[in-house]
Structure 1
Amino acid sequence: MLTVVIKPYRFESTTLFVWLLVAAAGVTDALLYLHSKEMLAVYMTGNSSKMARFFQQGDLAKALPLLTIVLTFIAGTTLAAWLGNKAASWRAPLLLLLVAVLLALACPFTSEKFSLGPVLLISAAMGTLNQVRRSEAGVTFMTGTLVRLGRALAAGQFRSAGNYALRWLIWIIAAFFGALLDSHFAASALLAVPLWCLALAAVVTANHFVLTHKLKQRAAQQHSS
C-alpha cells in the first residue's frame, strides 16, 4: 500500500513570515527613536549600555527607568515563551494577538515624547514578538543578522548571505516607512503596528483552518481508497 506523506504549508514557517515580523519591529524601532530617545523599547543593548553609564554617574533617575525597561522586556519574552510552548501549533497567532494588545494599550498614552508607561508596554510587546516563531528569536535587532551575513559571505554561501542582506534591507525599509508614518500622524503612527500584527494573526489562523480541512479531506480519501 502506497503511503502518502503530507507536508502541509504553514505560513508561520516561511521566511516571508519572519520578514513581516522584522518589518513590525523596524517600524516600532523608528518610532521609538523619534519619540523616546533615552528609553528604547526595542534596542536592549543600547538601554543596557546607557543604564551602566548612568549608574556609574550616580544618576539613578535615568538609570532605574532603563533597568525597568530591560526587566520588562525579559519578563515579556519569558511569559511569551511559556505561553507559546503551551499553545503548540497556535503559538504564532496567540503571541501576535498578545503583541497587538500590548501595543494597542500603549497607543492612547503616546505623545510627542513617550513616557515610561507606554515604553514599558512596547518593551513587553517587543519581547513577545521575539517569541512568535520559536526558532527565530532575533526579529527585533539586526546585529546577529549582520554577523550571520558576514559568516555566510566568508563561507561562500551566497544564497544564505542574500537572505540575511534582504532581511537587513527589510528592516531599513520598515524604519523608513515608520518615519514616514510619523511625519503624517506623529505618535499616533504606532497604531499601525498592532493593526499589522492583527492582520498577521488573522492570516496565520486562516492558514491553520485551511490546513486542518485539507488534512481531514486527504485522510478521508486515503481511508476510502
Structure 2
Amino acid sequence: MNRYDKRSRALATCLSALAGYVDAIGFLSLGGFFVSFMSGNSTRLGVGLAQGSTVAVIAIGLIGTFLVGVIAGSFTGHIAGPHRRPAVLALVTMLLTVAAACASAGFPHAAIVAAGLAMGAENAIFESDGEVHIGLTYMTGTLVKLGQRITAALLGGERMAWAPYLLLWLGLVAGSVAGALVHPYLGLGGLWIAAGAAAVLVLSAAKIGPDGDGPMSA
C-alpha cells in the first residue's frame, strides 16, 4: 500500500468503500452470505457440508461466481496493459449496472451473480505480475499489515506507515455502513448507486495516468 502514490491510495480507499457498500447490500439481501468476502462464505461452506445443509450450495455458488469475476478482471487487465485500472473498473461498472438492472427488473438472483462477478473483478485493479498488491474486498491481510506497521512505528520505524492501511479498512467499514443504511429503502436497487460510483472512479483512475500497474518505490 505504501508503495503507491497518494492518488492511487485514495483510489484504493474509495474502491474498498465500494466493496463494503456492495457487500453490505448483498449480505442483507442474502440473509448472511457475502458477495465479496469469500473467507466468510468458505466458513459457511464448511459448516454447511458438515451439517448437510443447503447453505453449502449457496456458499459454493457465490465462491464460484467470485472466482469467475477474478478471472475476468485479470484477463481484462492483461489485455489493457498499462491502462489496467480504468479498464478493469469499466468492467466492474458494467457488471454493477447489469446487477442493478436485474434487480429493478425483478431478477434478484441474477443481480447477486452480477454483483459477485463485479467484486471478484475489482480485485484485479491493483494486480501486476500475477500478484494482487492491494486487496480491496477483504481486510484480514490489511489488518495484519496495520498491526505490523504500528509495531514498526513503536520500535522506531516510519511513524505513519500504518495510516494507509487504517484508511483502507475504514473505507470498507464506511461503505458497509452506507450499504446497510440504503438497503431498507432500496434493497438490491441500491446497486444503482454503486454503479454510479464505479463510473466516477473509472474517470478518476484514468486521470491518475497510464502507469496503472506499477507500485511506487518502497
Shared fold per TM-score greater than 0.5: yes
TM-aligned CA deviation for residue 206 of structure 1: 4.6
Return the TM-score normalized by structure 1.
0.78
Q: Which has the higher relative contact order, 1 or 2, with Cα contacts under 8 A spaced 6 or more apart?
A: 2
TM-aligned CA deviation for residue 99 of structure 1: 0.7
Does residue 125 in structure 1 map to residue 125 in structure 2?
Answer: no
Amino acid at match of 1:194: A
8 Å contact from structure 1 (residues 12, 133) kept in 2: no
TM-aligned CA deviation for residue 107 of structure 1: 1.4
In structure 2, stretches of 5+ residues that fail to align are 212-218
Equivalent position of 2:150 in the other structure: 153
Give the 3 Å change call, closer, same or farther, for CA 168–203 of structure 1 in structure 2. Answer: closer
Deviations 1:142-172 (A, max 9, x none): 1111111111112224312122122222222
Equivalent position of 1:35 in the other structure: 29
Helix, strand or coil for the counterpart of 1:132? coil
Does residue 143 in structure 1 map to residue 122 in structure 2?
Answer: no
8 Å contact from structure 1 (residues 36, 114) kept in 2: no
Q: Percent of pairs identical after alignment?
A: 27
8 Å contact from structure 2 (residues 98, 114) kept in 1: yes
Counterparts of residues 1-225 of structure 1 (less than 5 Å): 14-59=8-53, 61-110=54-103, 115-134=108-127, 135-156=132-153, 157-208=158-209
Give the 3 Å change call, closer, same or farther, for CA 163–62 of structure 1 in structure 2. Answer: same
Amino acid at match of 1:47: N
How many residues were matched structurally? Answer: 199
Bigger radius of gyration among the two = 1
Distance in 2 of aligned mates of 1:162 and 1:204: 22
Distance in 1 of aligned mates of 2:6 and 2:118: 18
Return the TM-score normalized by structure 2.
0.81
Give the 3 Å change call, closer, same or farther, for CA 120–88 of structure 1 in structure 2. Answer: same
Amino acid at match of 2:62: I
Deviations 1:131-152 (A, max 9, x none): 1122534100111111111111
Helix, strand or coil for the counterpart of 1:160? coil
Amino acid at match of 1:48: S
TM-aligned CA deviation for residue 85 of structure 1: 1.6
Superposed CA RMSD: 2.6
In structure 1, stretches of 5+ residues that fail to align are 1-9, 212-225
8 Å contact from structure 1 (residues 77, 128) kept in 2: yes
